[in-house]
Chains A and B, each alone.
Chain A
């Protein structure tokens, strides 16, 4: 080390110091995500699953006729991402969402880097907000990749012919595209709740694997509860059920009730989870 090169300490700044904001933390969380392999694992899965679905459709004549838009997948590529969304709510998107949201705080514990970033000039709440936004952004990008790849692959083989709404009325290709985008946004609502739960587990368990697996177990449990007939009264309040709310957009006229229901039910899960995670993160002792 070049001891002689050490410059004289400069005058320390007081309250006039220019401090980083949430945007700075968020930008660096995205950079960290870009540098990690697991990021591409989730995005790769989001791209691969619709491709596998299209290949499966091409290699056999059978189809998922029993699900909404299942009978249209070989008639228009617009139906491919919609059917894909139905199947992916079971495990793919809970897994992809948890993969990053469940790791984003716990990984800092594992690497011991929390103390590194918490002794700089960004407040703890700013760090937390940056991480939350990064986890949500990742889930959103994965969803966009999934829908985009499904749309392109489906369109490449079956074109972009008009859809038929769940009410039986025709939907033009342009409006169909817009409704697919809107369906993606509606689908993202329960994904945010999943991300919030994963973030909570990541914050309180300090363990990435526990947070990811815990989130998946919670997701599977809700799907299990949904098929128990004696618990019908519970079904509308299960997070897993909110993944189907987008179907309201593809009725004629649009049925907003399931969308509104999904928003507040998802908020019931997300708000307490984020609040708990926030308090835990801001007040926790960083001893590792």
Chain B
């Protein structure tokens, strides 16, 4: 397989332990060229550890990760050709100016990276502060300088760990636009983020990590439309309807929404069965409206309740089948 056909990132059976804690547990990950890939998980889920292994900063205890078919542990920094990014907050020398810092990393990149400094500074709008020491930069400015440093490598794969952290709303919007623009130009992006709106806006595929394990990997669209469907229900007797719903097979998470009626989780088949049961009980249905779960709801349910899709469920999602999320 030529390099152009290789996945941008391919991790197989990746494991990293710190003492008795398994930070990353058998993670498989495939990021194809051109993907804008969301990497989600709560704090401590193992996201940053995975990214560090991808960039060759730490060694996995088992498994391997390849970038365009090249393993950083085997090929060293040659595996990072065409790859750039940062994990956690980008760090620079506080006693050097922004421009000096970029000159330094460009020197360590070689291959004409220094010629791209002005362009990178313009892109992140730091040209007017480039001669100031980084020690005086705000967090947001350092984030932007980190992105500028990444762009110097002229990457095909951009790995960004919480790039919008510390940016003001306008800065976050601009960062999203820039990532979108880079992706539209063909750059593969792995975006680790806590901002669900950012992920929904930018990403076409996501992996959700919980306690070091992959809870979901696949297209964002499939995840949003096929898992965890919620319904809103208004009836002539909501209290009685709630009692019936709670004992109905396939119905879960029944909650009283007050004037807006009830909400419950369930698939289409269960909702149909419930409507029949309500009719038989003499409860009139004023409205039964499917409500797609937000990414944040799905994220929280998968990571807080440790929902794990089985391989079979995962493949059914890929086939577009509606599933009930089991807790």
Binding site for B on A (CB under 8 A): 1-10, 12-15, 17-20, 24-25, 27-28, 31-32, 35-37, 111-113, 115-124, 283, 285-287
> What is the distance, in angstroms, from A155's C-beta to the closest C-beta of chain B?
36
Q: A2-B123, A116-B149 are in contact. List 9 more A-B contacts (CB 8 A).
A: A6-B151, A9-B156, A9-B182, A9-B186, A14-B81, A17-B110, A20-B110, A287-B52, A287-B58
Q: Which residue of A lies closest to B57 (CB)?
A: A286
Interface size on B, residues (CB 8 A): 60
On chain B, the residues within 8 Å of A31 by CB distance are 100, 104
* Among all A-B residue pairs, the 6 with the closest Cβ atoms: A12-B82, A112-B91, A3-B177, A120-B108, A285-B58, A1-B174
Q: Given A25-B108, A120-B108, A286-B57, decide whether A3 and B156 contact each other with a Cβ distance below 8 A.
A: no
On chain B, the residues within 8 Å of A35 by CB distance are 93, 95-96, 100
In the assembled complex, the Cα of A35 lies from the Cα of B95 at a distance in Å of 7
On chain B, the residues within 8 Å of A32 by CB distance are 93, 95-96, 104
On chain A, the residues within 8 Å of B55 by CB distance are 115, 119
Which listed residue, B92, B144, B154, touches A9 by the CB 8 Å rule? B154
In the assembled complex, the Cα of A5 lies from the Cα of B181 at a distance in Å of 9
On chain A, the residues within 8 Å of B80 by CB distance are 119-121
Residues of B35-92 at the interface with A, using a CB-CB cut-off of 8 Å, are: 49, 52, 55-59, 76-78, 80-82, 84-92
Which listed residue, A1, A36, A122, A285, touches B95 by the CB 8 Å rule? A36
Binding site for A on B (CB under 8 A): 3, 49, 52, 55-59, 76-78, 80-82, 84-96, 100, 104-105, 107-112, 119, 122-125, 144, 147, 149, 151, 153-156, 171, 174-175, 177-178, 180-182, 185-187
In the assembled complex, the Cα of A20 lies from the Cα of B105 at a distance in Å of 11
Q: Which residue of B lies closest to A120 (CB)?
A: B108
Contact present for B171 and A1 (CB under 8 Å): yes
Q: Which residue of A lies closest to B16 (CB)?
A: A285
In the assembled complex, the Cα of A8 lies from the Cα of B59 at a distance in Å of 33
Contact present for B154 and A6 (CB under 8 Å): no
User: Could you jot down 12 A-B contacts, CB within 8 Å?
Assistant: A1-B174, A3-B123, A3-B180, A9-B185, A13-B82, A24-B110, A111-B92, A113-B91, A120-B80, A121-B109, A121-B153, A283-B59
Contact present for A17 and B93 (CB under 8 Å): no
On chain A, the residues within 8 Å of B104 by CB distance are 28, 31-32, 117
Contact present for B58 and A24 (CB under 8 Å): no
On chain A, the residues within 8 Å of B186 by CB distance are 8-9
On chain A, the residues within 8 Å of B52 by CB distance are 115, 285-287
In the assembled complex, the Cα of A112 lies from the Cα of B105 at a distance in Å of 14
Which listed residue, B49, B88, B123, touches A1 by the CB 8 Å rule? B123
Contact present for B110 and A124 (CB under 8 Å): no
Contact present for A111 and B93 (CB under 8 Å): yes
Contact present for B108 and A285 (CB under 8 Å): no
> What is the distance, in angstroms, from B185's C-beta to the closest C-beta of chain A?
5
In the assembled complex, the Cα of A208 lies from the Cα of B109 at a distance in Å of 27
In the assembled complex, the Cα of A32 lies from the Cα of B108 at a distance in Å of 14
Q: Which residue of A lies closest to B85 (CB)?
A: A119
On chain B, the residues within 8 Å of A27 by CB distance are 107
Contact present for A24 and B185 (CB under 8 Å): no
Contact present for A117 and B144 (CB under 8 Å): no
On chain A, the residues within 8 Å of B125 by CB distance are 1-2
Q: Given A112-B91, A120-B108, decide whether A3 and B178 contact each other with a Cβ distance below 8 A.
A: yes
In the assembled complex, the Cα of A121 lies from the Cα of B79 at a distance in Å of 9
On chain B, the residues within 8 Å of A116 by CB distance are 86, 90-92, 105, 149
Contact present for A1 and B59 (CB under 8 Å): no
On chain B, the residues within 8 Å of A8 by CB distance are 185-186
On chain B, the residues within 8 Å of A124 by CB distance are 76-77
In the assembled complex, the Cα of A37 lies from the Cα of B95 at a distance in Å of 9
On chain A, the residues within 8 Å of B174 by CB distance are 1, 3
In the assembled complex, the Cα of A122 lies from the Cα of B109 at a distance in Å of 7
Contact present for B185 and A121 (CB under 8 Å): no
> What is the distance, in angstroms, from B314's C-beta to the closest C-beta of chain A?
31
Contact present for B122 and A2 (CB under 8 Å): yes
Contact present for A121 and B81 (CB under 8 Å): yes
> What is the distance, in angstroms, from B214's C-beta to the closest C-beta of chain A?
21
Q: Which residue of A lies closest to B83 (CB)?
A: A119
Contact present for B108 and A6 (CB under 8 Å): no
In the assembled complex, the Cα of A13 lies from the Cα of B186 at a distance in Å of 16
Contact present for B181 and A6 (CB under 8 Å): yes
In the assembled complex, the Cα of A36 lies from the Cα of B95 at a distance in Å of 7
Contact present for B57 and A287 (CB under 8 Å): yes
Which listed residue, B91, B111, B171, touches A115 by the CB 8 Å rule? B91
Q: Which residue of A lies closest to B48 (CB)?
A: A287
In the assembled complex, the Cα of A9 lies from the Cα of B82 at a distance in Å of 10
On chain A, the residues within 8 Å of B156 by CB distance are 9, 12
> What is the distance, in angstroms, from A224's C-beta to the closest C-beta of chain B?
37
Contact present for A28 and B182 (CB under 8 Å): no
On chain B, the residues within 8 Å of A119 by CB distance are 55-57, 77, 80, 84-86
In the assembled complex, the Cα of A125 lies from the Cα of B57 at a distance in Å of 14
In the assembled complex, the Cα of A198 lies from the Cα of B94 at a distance in Å of 23
In the assembled complex, the Cα of A24 lies from the Cα of B109 at a distance in Å of 10
Contact present for B92 and A20 (CB under 8 Å): no
Which listed residue, B77, B149, B171, B177, touches A122 by the CB 8 Å rule? B77
